[in-house]
Amino acid sequence: MSIETILVLNAGSSSIKFQLFKGEASVLSGQIDGLGAKAWIKAKTAEGDKIVDRAMTDDEAKNHNSALGVLLEALKAFDPNLEVDAIGHRVVHGGPNMSEPQLVTPEVLAEVEAISSMAPLHNPHNLAGVAGAGAAFEGKPQVLCFDTAFHRSQNFNNEAYALPLSYYKNGYRRYGMHGQSYLYISRELHNVAPEIADKKVVVAHLGNGASMTAIENGKCITTTMGFTALDGLAMGTRCGTIDPGILLYMMQEKDMSVDEVAHVLYKESGMLGLSEISQDMRELENSNDPKAKQALEYYDNRIKRELGGLVACMGGIDALIFTGGIGENSAKTRAGVCKGLEFLGIELDEAANDRRASEAITISASSSKVKVMAIPTNEEAMIAAQTREICEAL
Ligand code: ADP
């Protein structure tokens, strides 16, 4: 099947992000926000021309189906003759079995629905996007690309929690997240640094959500995120790894409800909680408040702590790659993480590091045993590429 135009959708609870690809080029991107309340749609071309930027009516904003009808109109306004050949979806959770993207069939949808309780904040909305796109683009193939798929190559030691074994069998596992970003970076390394592409690489995806993954030969050895998106690094508002006994203490001794605990862990913790200023890295870096400095140092230290574990599990490190909004743009974070890691063979070139990575940049010193780079990620391009691969094989 020949595939020219692919629509990539990332459907959340109240938003739908979209990007249109012609061949490998992204030609249009935008998003619908505020679904179910006061919704807004905007889209602009790759050149920055606005195609639509308006409030949606209550009828249009009723649900994902009605919203995708409006998106279809925006695509037509962009190009009246546009034919979408295939749709690629970001789906957060693929459960224990989905290690590859999947063409949408009734069986695949049933399996994703069955595991939806593991990602109640995400999967049901992703699936609503699939149903809506099915109605808006009748008869066109759809592909599901899972955030967890990349991490299915972990062995038992790295995937299991030390709970009774029956829990592992029942799906209590380290699933990991940001898989589309890790896959993109793994593939991109073959273009920008082929000498390390198949070696031992740690990738730090640092955005509002953040995780790190040890990758050897393009395959995940292990990752910092776990059963949910709370585990691992300290994030914008999420706490990352904490002693689970704290949760018991909050509920048993402090009478906090499950919802209250969840709110603290997901919304009030991380950089926002520690700094009491902001979750936004730029704001913290620009602040003179000692609490901002303390939070930033904490952030870097948590990355180091996880890096040590990942490197030990992988048995070494040949390259460290920073990506995501913070990894690509924050020279301070990269410098803070690499400081004191000379014993691991990591030496930064301060001048090379002192810039934003609008394209792949090498920031390690020429004497550094470990190559350190910052590479912009592109999860949507990865979803489009996989959608194309699957649909062209049909
Ligand atoms: P998301 O996980 O929502 O996709 P992003 O990958 O866009 O998030 O990352 C958002 C984070 O990147 C924010 O904390 C933001 O402050 C940070 N960031 C973006 N640009 C810069 C910059 N120039 N310097 C420092 N941090 C930056």
Name the active-site residue from 85, 147, 300, 318: 147
- Name the 3-class secondary structure at 113: helix
Give the DSSP per-residue string, 12-37: -SS-EEEEEEETTEEEEEEEEE-TTS
Domain annotation covers residue 297: yes
Which residue, 331, 342, 340, 336, is CA-closest to 369? 342
Same domain, 142 and 243: no
Q: What per-residue confidence (pLDDT) applies to 251?
A: 98
Same domain, 221 and 365: yes
Lowest pLDDT segment from 12-16, 169-173, 286-290: 12-16
Q: What is the pLDDT of residues 48-74, one digit of tens each?
A: 999 999 999 999 999 998 999 999 999
Q: State yes or no: pLDDT of 38 exceeds 90.
A: no
User: Mutation test of ligand 1: which of 122, 182, 208 has the most ligand atoms closer than 8 Å to its C-beta?
Assistant: 208
Same domain, 84 and 214: no
Q: What per-residue confidence (pLDDT) applies to 144?
A: 98
Which of 146, 167, 186 represents a domain boundary (last residue)? 146
Same domain, 15 and 132: yes
User: Mutation test of ligand 1: which of 330, 332, 356, 379 has the most ligand atoms closer than 8 Å to its C-beta?
Assistant: 330
Question: Is residue 209 lining ligand 1, measured as CB closer than 6 Å?
Answer: yes
Q: What is the pLDDT of residues 231-271, one digit of tens each?
A: 999 999 999 999 999 999 999 999 999 999 999 999 999 99
Residue 365 has which token pair? 């010193």
Within 8 A by CB and 6+ apart from 81, the residues are: none
Same domain, 219 and 353: yes
Same domain, 200 and 142: no
Domain annotation covers residue 166: no
Within 8 A by CB and 6+ apart from 362, the residues are: 193, 352, 371, 372, 373
Q: What per-residue confidence (pLDDT) applies to 337?
A: 98
pLDDT band at 140 (very low <50, low <70, confident <90, very high): very high
Question: Is residue 176 lining ligand 1, measured as CB closer than 6 Å?
Answer: no
Beta strand 319-323 pairing with 371-374:
parallel
Domain annotation covers residue 29: yes
Same domain, 137 and 285: no
Range(s) of the domain holding residue 220: 194-379
- Contact by Cβ (8 Å): 290, 274: no
Catalytic site includes residue 147 = yes
pTM score, whole prediction: 0.95
What does residue 216 show for φ and ψ, rounded to 5 degrees? -125, 130
Same domain, 219 and 106: no
Domain annotation covers residue 159: no
Domain annotation covers residue 169: no
Which of 83, 113, 146 represents a domain boundary (last residue)? 146
Domain annotation covers residue 370: yes
pLDDT band at 221 (very low <50, low <70, confident <90, very high): very high
Task: Write down the mean pLDDT value for the chain.
Answer: 96
User: Mutation test of ligand 1: which of 282, 285, 353, 358 has the most ligand atoms closer than 8 Å to its C-beta?
Assistant: 282
Q: What per-residue confidence (pLDDT) applies to 345?
A: 98
Which of 127, 146, 165 represents a domain boundary (last residue)? 146
Domain annotation covers residue 373: yes
Q: What per-residue confidence (pLDDT) applies to 285?
A: 98
b/e string for 149-184 if b means 16 or more Cβ within 10 A?
Answer: bbbbbbeeebbbeeeeeeebeeebbbbbbbbbbbbb
Rounded to an integer, what distance in angstroms lies between the CA atom of residue 350 and that of residue 363? 7
Q: State yes or no: pLDDT of 365 exceeds 90.
A: yes
Question: Is residue 12 lining ligand 1, measured as CB closer than 6 Å?
Answer: no
Same domain, 331 and 248: yes
Q: Could you tell me how many residues make up the chain?
A: 394
| Stretch 32-40: mean pLDDT | 90
Rounded to an integer, what distance in angstroms lies between the CA atom of residue 5 and that of residue 387? 11
CA of 374 from ligand 1 middle (Å) equals 14
Rounded to an integer, what distance in angstroms lies between the CA atom of residue 381 and that of residue 19? 9
Same domain, 106 and 223: no
For residue 294, the domain's CATH number is: 3.30.420.40
Looking at the structure of the chain, the number of domains it has is 2
Question: Is residue 180 lining ligand 1, measured as CB closer than 6 Å?
Answer: no
- Name the 3-class secondary structure at 83: coil
Question: Is residue 280 lining ligand 1, measured as CB closer than 6 Å?
Answer: yes
Question: Is residue 208 lining ligand 1, measured as CB closer than 6 Å?
Answer: yes
Rounded to an integer, what distance in angstroms lies between the CA atom of residue 68 and that of residue 52? 14
CA of 298 from ligand 1 middle (Å) equals 17
| Stretch 365-391: mean pLDDT | 97
Same domain, 198 and 121: no
Q: What per-residue confidence (pLDDT) applies to 117?
A: 85
Q: What per-residue confidence (pLDDT) applies to 138?
A: 93
Q: What is the pLDDT of residues 283-296, one digit of tens each?
A: 999 999 999 999 99
